Amino acid sequence: MTRSQAVLGYLVAVFPLVATPGASFTLLVQRVGTAGRRQALPVVLGTVCGLYVHASLAVLGLSALVMRSSTAFATVRLAGAAYLVGLGGWSWFRAGHPGTRRAPRAGRRSGYLQALLGNVLNPKAASIFLTLLPQFLDPHRALLPQVLLLATAQAVLVSAWLLAWTAVLARAAGFAAGRAKAVLTRVGAAVLIALGLRTALS
Protein backbone atom coordinates (compact mmCIF):
# COMPACT_ATOMS: atom_id res chain seq x y z
CA MET A 1 0.00 0.00 0.00
CA THR A 2 1.45 3.38 -1.04
CA ARG A 3 1.34 6.41 1.24
CA SER A 4 -1.35 8.08 -0.84
CA GLN A 5 -3.47 4.92 -0.75
CA ALA A 6 -3.00 4.67 3.02
CA VAL A 7 -4.01 8.29 3.55
CA LEU A 8 -7.06 8.02 1.29
CA GLY A 9 -8.16 4.75 2.87
CA TYR A 10 -7.75 6.15 6.36
CA LEU A 11 -9.75 9.28 5.54
CA VAL A 12 -12.58 7.20 4.10
CA ALA A 13 -12.59 5.00 7.20
CA VAL A 14 -12.42 7.86 9.72
CA PHE A 15 -14.89 10.23 8.03
CA PRO A 16 -18.04 8.66 9.57
CA LEU A 17 -16.49 9.23 13.00
CA VAL A 18 -15.56 12.81 12.11
CA ALA A 19 -19.06 13.51 10.81
CA THR A 20 -20.73 12.15 13.94
CA PRO A 21 -21.62 15.11 16.19
CA GLY A 22 -19.54 15.22 19.36
CA ALA A 23 -18.13 17.69 21.85
CA SER A 24 -16.18 19.73 19.27
CA PHE A 25 -19.18 20.08 16.97
CA THR A 26 -21.41 21.03 19.89
CA LEU A 27 -18.92 23.67 21.04
CA LEU A 28 -18.75 25.00 17.49
CA VAL A 29 -22.54 25.31 17.23
CA GLN A 30 -22.74 26.98 20.60
CA ARG A 31 -19.93 29.49 20.09
CA VAL A 32 -20.47 30.41 16.44
CA GLY A 33 -24.23 30.58 16.94
CA THR A 34 -23.94 33.02 19.82
CA ALA A 35 -20.69 34.96 19.20
CA GLY A 36 -19.94 34.77 15.48
CA ARG A 37 -17.64 32.93 13.11
CA ARG A 38 -14.43 34.19 14.77
CA GLN A 39 -15.15 31.80 17.63
CA ALA A 40 -14.71 28.85 15.26
CA LEU A 41 -10.92 29.09 14.94
CA PRO A 42 -10.08 28.35 18.61
CA VAL A 43 -12.46 25.38 18.59
CA VAL A 44 -10.83 24.01 15.43
CA LEU A 45 -7.31 24.59 16.78
CA GLY A 46 -8.14 22.97 20.12
CA THR A 47 -9.62 19.94 18.37
CA VAL A 48 -6.62 19.57 16.05
CA CYS A 49 -4.13 19.91 18.91
CA GLY A 50 -6.07 17.23 20.75
CA LEU A 51 -5.63 14.90 17.77
CA TYR A 52 -1.87 15.43 17.83
CA VAL A 53 -1.82 14.73 21.58
CA HIS A 54 -3.53 11.39 20.97
CA ALA A 55 -1.17 10.62 18.07
CA SER A 56 1.86 11.39 20.23
CA LEU A 57 0.59 9.29 23.12
CA ALA A 58 -0.17 6.41 20.76
CA VAL A 59 3.39 6.50 19.39
CA LEU A 60 4.77 6.53 22.94
CA GLY A 61 2.55 3.61 23.85
CA LEU A 62 0.78 5.41 26.69
CA SER A 63 -2.63 5.24 25.05
CA ALA A 64 -2.22 1.51 24.52
CA LEU A 65 -1.41 1.14 28.21
CA VAL A 66 -4.56 3.04 29.18
CA MET A 67 -6.71 1.01 26.79
CA ARG A 68 -5.35 -2.28 28.19
CA SER A 69 -5.89 -1.26 31.81
CA SER A 70 -9.57 -1.26 32.73
CA THR A 71 -8.90 0.96 35.75
CA ALA A 72 -6.91 3.54 33.79
CA PHE A 73 -9.44 3.52 30.96
CA ALA A 74 -12.33 3.99 33.41
CA THR A 75 -10.49 6.87 35.08
CA VAL A 76 -9.94 8.68 31.78
CA ARG A 77 -13.52 7.98 30.70
CA LEU A 78 -15.03 9.33 33.92
CA ALA A 79 -12.73 12.38 33.86
CA GLY A 80 -13.89 13.14 30.34
CA ALA A 81 -17.52 12.60 31.31
CA ALA A 82 -17.20 14.90 34.32
CA TYR A 83 -15.56 17.56 32.17
CA LEU A 84 -18.35 17.50 29.57
CA VAL A 85 -21.08 17.60 32.22
CA GLY A 86 -19.31 20.46 34.02
CA LEU A 87 -18.82 22.36 30.78
CA GLY A 88 -22.45 21.87 29.87
CA GLY A 89 -23.59 23.07 33.29
CA TRP A 90 -21.40 26.16 33.08
CA SER A 91 -22.69 26.95 29.58
CA TRP A 92 -26.28 26.63 30.81
CA PHE A 93 -25.52 29.03 33.65
CA ARG A 94 -23.93 31.59 31.31
CA ALA A 95 -26.95 31.47 28.99
CA GLY A 96 -29.13 32.72 31.83
CA HIS A 97 -26.60 35.35 32.93
CA PRO A 98 -25.40 37.23 29.83
CA GLY A 99 -23.54 39.71 32.01
CA THR A 100 -21.00 36.98 32.85
CA ARG A 101 -19.71 36.79 29.29
CA ARG A 102 -15.97 37.25 28.97
CA ALA A 103 -14.04 39.54 26.71
CA PRO A 104 -13.61 38.24 23.13
CA ARG A 105 -9.93 37.35 23.62
CA ALA A 106 -10.67 35.43 26.82
CA GLY A 107 -13.61 33.75 25.10
CA ARG A 108 -11.39 32.55 22.25
CA ARG A 109 -8.81 31.25 24.71
CA SER A 110 -11.45 29.34 26.68
CA GLY A 111 -12.86 27.95 23.43
CA TYR A 112 -9.44 26.53 22.57
CA LEU A 113 -8.98 24.95 25.99
CA GLN A 114 -12.50 23.53 26.02
CA ALA A 115 -12.04 21.89 22.61
CA LEU A 116 -8.56 20.64 23.53
CA LEU A 117 -9.64 19.06 26.82
CA GLY A 118 -12.84 17.72 25.30
CA ASN A 119 -10.72 15.84 22.75
CA VAL A 120 -7.83 14.79 24.98
CA LEU A 121 -10.16 13.41 27.70
CA ASN A 122 -12.17 11.42 25.15
CA PRO A 123 -11.00 7.77 25.27
CA LYS A 124 -12.90 7.03 22.08
CA ALA A 125 -10.71 9.55 20.25
CA ALA A 126 -7.66 7.72 21.59
CA SER A 127 -9.06 4.40 20.42
CA ILE A 128 -9.01 5.63 16.82
CA PHE A 129 -5.23 5.79 16.94
CA LEU A 130 -5.01 2.33 18.52
CA THR A 131 -7.56 0.37 16.52
CA LEU A 132 -8.28 2.10 13.21
CA LEU A 133 -5.05 3.91 12.34
CA PRO A 134 -2.70 0.87 12.74
CA GLN A 135 -4.55 -0.85 9.89
CA PHE A 136 -3.06 1.74 7.52
CA LEU A 137 0.54 1.54 8.76
CA ASP A 138 3.35 -0.22 6.95
CA PRO A 139 5.33 -2.30 9.50
CA HIS A 140 8.42 -2.07 7.30
CA ARG A 141 8.58 1.74 7.55
CA ALA A 142 9.32 4.09 10.44
CA LEU A 143 6.26 4.42 12.68
CA LEU A 144 6.43 8.09 13.70
CA PRO A 145 6.35 9.67 10.18
CA GLN A 146 3.41 7.46 9.19
CA VAL A 147 1.39 8.30 12.31
CA LEU A 148 2.07 12.02 11.90
CA LEU A 149 1.06 11.86 8.23
CA LEU A 150 -2.24 10.16 8.99
CA ALA A 151 -2.88 12.40 12.00
CA THR A 152 -2.27 15.46 9.82
CA ALA A 153 -4.63 14.12 7.16
CA GLN A 154 -7.28 13.63 9.84
CA ALA A 155 -6.61 17.12 11.21
CA VAL A 156 -7.17 18.61 7.75
CA LEU A 157 -10.38 16.63 7.33
CA VAL A 158 -11.69 17.67 10.76
CA SER A 159 -10.78 21.31 10.12
CA ALA A 160 -12.51 21.33 6.73
CA TRP A 161 -15.62 19.71 8.23
CA LEU A 162 -15.86 22.15 11.14
CA LEU A 163 -15.14 25.20 8.96
CA ALA A 164 -17.80 24.14 6.46
CA TRP A 165 -20.30 23.99 9.31
CA THR A 166 -19.02 27.35 10.53
CA ALA A 167 -20.17 28.99 7.30
CA VAL A 168 -23.62 27.46 7.70
CA LEU A 169 -23.89 28.36 11.38
CA ALA A 170 -22.65 31.92 10.90
CA ARG A 171 -25.26 32.55 8.23
CA ALA A 172 -28.02 31.09 10.40
CA ALA A 173 -26.84 33.11 13.41
CA GLY A 174 -27.29 36.31 11.43
CA PHE A 175 -31.02 35.73 11.52
CA ALA A 176 -31.19 34.76 15.19
CA ALA A 177 -32.33 37.22 17.83
CA GLY A 178 -30.76 37.46 21.27
CA ARG A 179 -33.39 35.19 22.84
CA ALA A 180 -32.83 32.58 20.13
CA LYS A 181 -29.07 32.67 20.80
CA ALA A 182 -29.68 32.02 24.50
CA VAL A 183 -31.84 29.05 23.57
CA LEU A 184 -29.10 27.79 21.25
CA THR A 185 -26.57 28.05 24.07
CA ARG A 186 -28.78 26.02 26.36
CA VAL A 187 -29.42 23.40 23.70
CA GLY A 188 -25.66 23.07 23.24
CA ALA A 189 -25.22 22.85 27.01
CA ALA A 190 -27.82 20.09 27.21
CA VAL A 191 -26.05 18.17 24.43
CA LEU A 192 -22.71 18.45 26.25
CA ILE A 193 -24.30 17.14 29.43
CA ALA A 194 -25.90 14.29 27.47
CA LEU A 195 -22.57 13.43 25.85
CA GLY A 196 -20.93 13.40 29.26
CA LEU A 197 -23.57 11.10 30.73
CA ARG A 198 -23.36 8.79 27.72
CA THR A 199 -19.57 8.64 28.12
CA ALA A 200 -19.89 7.86 31.82
CA LEU A 201 -22.42 5.08 31.22
CA SER A 202 -20.80 3.53 28.15
Given a cut of 80, is residue 78 above it in pLDDT? no
Under 8 Å between Cβ of 186 and 43: no
Given a cut of 80, is residue 108 above it in pLDDT? no
Among 44, 27, 22, 45, CA closest to 189: 27
Rounded average pLDDT over 126-139: 85
What is the residue-wise DSSP string for 145-187?
A: HHHHHHHHHHHHHHHHHHHHHHHHHHHHHTT--HHHHHHHHHH
Distance CA 28, CA 23 (A): 9
The most confident of 13-17, 121-125, 185-189, by mean pLDDT? 13-17
pTM of the model: 0.74
- What is the pLDDT, as a whole number, of residue 66? 64
What average pLDDT is seen over the chain? 80
Write down the domain spans for the chain: 34-95+106-118+132-201
- What is the pLDDT, as a whole number, of residue 107? 57
pLDDT in tens, 162-201: 999 898 888 776 555 555 556 666 776 777 777 777 767 7
Among 85, 78, 44, 80, CA closest to 189: 85
Given a cut of 90, is residue 91 above it in pLDDT? no
